[in-house]
Structure 1
Amino acid sequence: MDGTAMAAAVTHERAPRVESLARGQFPGLSGRTYLDTATIGLAPYSVGDAVNRLVEQVVTCPADSGTLHHQALGSMRDETRTTVARLVGARSEDIALTESSTHGLGVAAQAVPLAPGDRVLTTDLEFVQMGVVMAQLARTGVRVDVVGHEKGIVTLDAIRRQFTPDTRLVAISSVQWTTGFRIDLADLGQLCRDHGVWLLVDGAQHVGVMPMDVRETPVDILVSSGHKWLNSPFGMGFMYLAPGIRERLAMPMPGFFAAKPPLETWGQSFTRPETVPNMDFHFTRDGRAWEIGGTPNFPGAVALAAAAQLATRIGIGDIAAHSLALGDRLIEGLDRQGLEVVSPRDHGARSGIVTFHTGSAESDVATMEHLLASGIGVSVRYTSGIGGIRVSCHYFNDTEDIDALLDTLKT
């Protein structure tokens, strides 16, 4: 079953299981209704515990030397690649740990082989960082073509119509940040394959709440943050680089941890008098070659691993079903109140985001402020003329959260 089919298989019977596993894990829910994960997620207890264990290790330094201490921390971070790889059906060697999706998009845009005159296709619904990346590419002589949305939706036909013989890359969010529209990645990936076009996907609003399996969905590069639907609080995300493309990708200016040490480890190599700085470096072609390659963000890594482990234990299929069911309840309530639902209603095109409109951007902001004052966390988001009050339905939310929002809208 592919990701879209899994997400569409919604049963309300799953909700008690998801809530029993998740609700009590999030102290940030105490005394409030938090429906703003699309902005930043809440960290569960398990993340705090993992970071505390790391801090204890850093403070006490149980290893016999700094070298062994550093190696132990590095091994802990290596496990994070394995953990996040499981979320998307990848292998650990396909994963690079990044600071964020912003960082990943920048690295990816520089890695794909593009030349002046090549064309890149994106949409007018993207998060602003995608626009920053496109502007940088345009300065190198790359042509940027923008597909316009139709009431918050970008169709495959609209993308197909903009393909030209010079189109080399499609850069798109799998879930759009304002409306929550979720594109059919399987069909888009096949379209790109049929035309010999690279596919770069921003999964920041997708990974952690909707299923994705890169074994079934042809994606060349996927980037994701950790601080949204994965509920990891520190600057850490990841990038998936398909194994068949890495030989054709340009590598960033790497640090020495991306190079193969002369001996088994760099620690061992540093004990040898013949080690010199100006050696003949041989770099790995695993995903980690696209990391910074220096001393990394260890707290971010252990936090991301712990958060991803919780999501995996609950099950992304169950998380998606639960989130979509909450979205159904919200949409039904908004319909009863005569409010305009901006997000798609079809499960195959929806995500954990439900956006609604109260008549104007000004009234949306006023309504948001009313909700915030009532202890209900939401956001207002617009891009290219579409948007409204954005509500995030995640696995730690329940029907009482949705009902509290709907009741507050009446007052």
Structure 2
Amino acid sequence: MGASPDWAEIRAEFPALRRWTYLNTATFGQVPRCAVQAVALHFARRDALACSDFLAWFDDADRIRALVARLINASPADIAFIPNAATALGLLLGGLDWRPGDRIVTLESEFPNSIYHPALLSCHGIEFIEVPWEGFWEAVTPNTRLVVVSEVNYITGFRVPLRDAAPELRRRGVLLFVDGTQSAGALRFDARQVAPDMYAVHGYKWLLAPNGAGFMYVHPELRERLMPNVIGWRSHQNWRQVDNLHHGAPVFPAEAEKYEGGMLTFAVLYAMEASLRLILEIGVENIERRVLELAGKVRDVARKLGAQLLSDDSPHYDSPVVAARFAQRPAAELARELARRHVLVSARHDFLRISPHFYNNEEDIARLEQELSCLL
């Protein structure tokens, strides 16, 4: 599509929007019709060919891998498919040679994926610390081995300045894990510029894919030393020779696919491919501009209605996630009442979380304002 996408035409790809004012992509993205059709086509192909062409599915997976690489400006060799972002963090935490006294740093109010597993390492003498952004650099001490952050915080919408932070962490020899689940598909990400050690995305939110469709970027330097901790028949470099599979210790491929282990969940990958093509056709720059514009309008409405916002006007909150607290009623109660009126948002820690994507429009925000005005 050109510089000015036809947002009304694009919106027609999402049938649920005919019945719902959907401002809840930070929970689930709406899956477009083209992605649903891609799943149906996969199963029709299975029926027609009785799975006799299953090796060709892996060629398709490589095509999808190339689309992911294009989305984040990486090499296809850097990309592995994962079922969720927690899997990627587990791979990283399980593959490092931890020593007592090592430190892991994350930010306050992180998603539990970024907290639970690192916290459990404390029984092995690993120090795990959660800090506000204002105290981040003070917390990154010489014994810090790993920083775990979400690019966009799932509650507040806080956006970590990765382009500034990542080079400094690399200079200090600290590994960086970034969860991009709340940003990929809505905001631009350049893997070559940021160069995190690992970047993981579960695509069921802003990438508009089904649950179970995700990917991770693994930096080439990390791949050289990070052993897979899920080993399967595709862990050996010549796994495509299915008529004569290797028996014995595997020789790992150099590419990130060595972390995939076994069979892929092709149905959801085909759906993710269709959504990726839609996103790339619209243009991530156009999408980012649109979602930030809509999020700004949501903040304006919230302020007009007297809300306390968990954000300020700094670039740290240039994200599509808006958190607003209304003193008149609890957030969970407001979310339930809005849902009764077919307006979907979510409640997180007594804040209403409102998260528009490119398929939303100004009429959705006007409807939100109208219904909130009636409820407050």
TM-score for the superposition, normalised by structure 2: 0.94
- Are positions 1:43 and 2:37 aligned together? no
CA distance in 2, matches of 1:401, 1:286: 44
* Contiguous gaps of at least 5 residues in structure 2: none
Q: In 1, distance between residues paired with 2:46 and 2:301?
A: 50
What is the DSSP-based 3-state SS (H/G/I as helix, E as strand, rest coil) of the residue aligned with 2:252?
A: coil
Kindly provide the CA deviation profile for residues 147-192 of structure 1, in whole angstroms up to 9, marking residues without a partner as x.
Answer: 1x3xxxx23xx11111222111111111000011101001110220
Question: What are the within-5 Å matches in structure 2 for residues 232-311 of structure 1?
Answer: 232-261=209-238, 265-269=240-244, 277-278=247-248, 280-291=249-260, 293-311=261-279
Q: Which residue of 1 aligns with 2:343?
A: 376
Partner Cα distance (2:171, 2:237) in 1: 37
Q: 1:18 to 1:297 in 2, by over 3 A?
A: same
Q: Is the 8 A contact 1:27 1:45 kept in 2?
A: yes
Q: Shift of residue 126 of structure 1?
A: 0.7
2:305 pairs with 1:337 = yes
State the shift of 1:21 in Å.
Answer: 4.9
- C-alpha displacement at 1:201, in angstroms? 0.6
Displacement, 1:344?
A: 3.5
Letter in 2 for 1:179: T
Between the aligned partners of 1:76 and 1:305, the Cα distance in structure 2 is: 9
Q: 2:319 is matched with which residue: 351, 355, 369?
A: 351
Task: State yes or no: 1:196 paired with 2:180.
Answer: no
Q: Deviations over 1:202-243 (max 9, x none)?
A: 111011101100111131100110100001013121110011
* Aligned residue in 2 for 1:207: 184
Selected match of 2:330 from 363, 376, 388: 363
Could you state the TM-score of these two structures normalised by the residue count of structure 1? Answer: 0.86
- Cα distance, 1:112 vs structure 2: 3.5
State the 1:62 CA deviation: 6.3
**Aligned ranges 1:15-30 → 2 under 5 Å:** 17=5, 19-30=7-18
Q: Which amino acid aligns with 1:410?
A: S
Amino acid at match of 2:354: V
Higher relative contact order (CA 8 A, sep 6+): 1
Residue number in structure 2 paired with 1:10? none
Question: Percent identity over the alignment?
Answer: 29
Q: Is 1:101 aligned to residue 89 of structure 2?
A: no
Q: Does the 8 Å CA contact 1:365/1:380 hold for their aligned counterparts?
A: yes
Which of 80, 85, 88 in structure 1 is aligned with 2:64?
80
User: Structure 1 segments of 4 or more deviating over 6 A?
Assistant: none
Give 1:81 shift: 1.2
Secondary structure, aligned partner of 2:224: helix
Q: Deviations for 1:35-91, whole angstroms, at most 9, x for unmatched residues? A: 11100111001101111110101111167xx3xx22012212222211111111111
CA offset at residue 324 of structure 1?
0.8
Q: Is the 8 A contact 1:378 1:389 kept in 2?
A: yes
Q: Which amino acid aligns with 1:195?
A: R
- Of 131, 136, 145, 1:159 maps to 136
Query: Structure 1 stretches of 5 or more lacking a match?
Result: 1-12, 271-275
User: How big is the shift at 1:141?
Assistant: 2.3
Q: Give, in whole Å, the separation in 2 of the partners of 1:79 and 1:113.
A: 34
**Contact 2:158–2:316 at 8 Å: present in 1 too?**
no
Matched residue SS, 1:165: coil
- CA positional deviation for 1:142: 1.3
The equivalent of 1:4 in structure 2 is none
**Alpha-carbon distance, 1:367 to partner:** 1.3
* Separation of aligned partners in 1, 2:221 and 2:232: 23
- Find out whether 1:326 has 2:294 as its counterpart: yes
Instruction: Give how far 1:347 is off.
Output: 4.3
The worse-fitting range, judged by mean Cα deviation, of 182-191 and 16-25 is 16-25
Q: Please report the RMSD computed on the Cα atoms of aligned residues, expressed in angstroms.
A: 1.9
1:18 deviates by 5.2
* Aligned: 1:144 with 2:128: yes
How many residue pairs get aligned? The number is: 373
Alignment match of 2:164 (pick from 187, 210, 213): 187
- Aligned match of 1:401: 364
Tell me the distance in 2 between the aligned counterparts of 1:41 and 1:365: 20
Partner secondary structure for residue 278 of structure 2: helix
Contact 2:306 2:326 (8 Å CA) reproduced: no
In 2, the alpha carbon distance for the partners of 1:27 and 1:118 equals 50
Q: Distance in 1 between matches of 2:7 and 2:282?
A: 10
Cα pair 1:175 1:351 within 8 Å, conserved: yes
Partners of 1:168 and 1:197 within 8 A in 2: yes
Letter in 1 for 2:339: L
Secondary structure of the residue aligned to 2:234 is helix
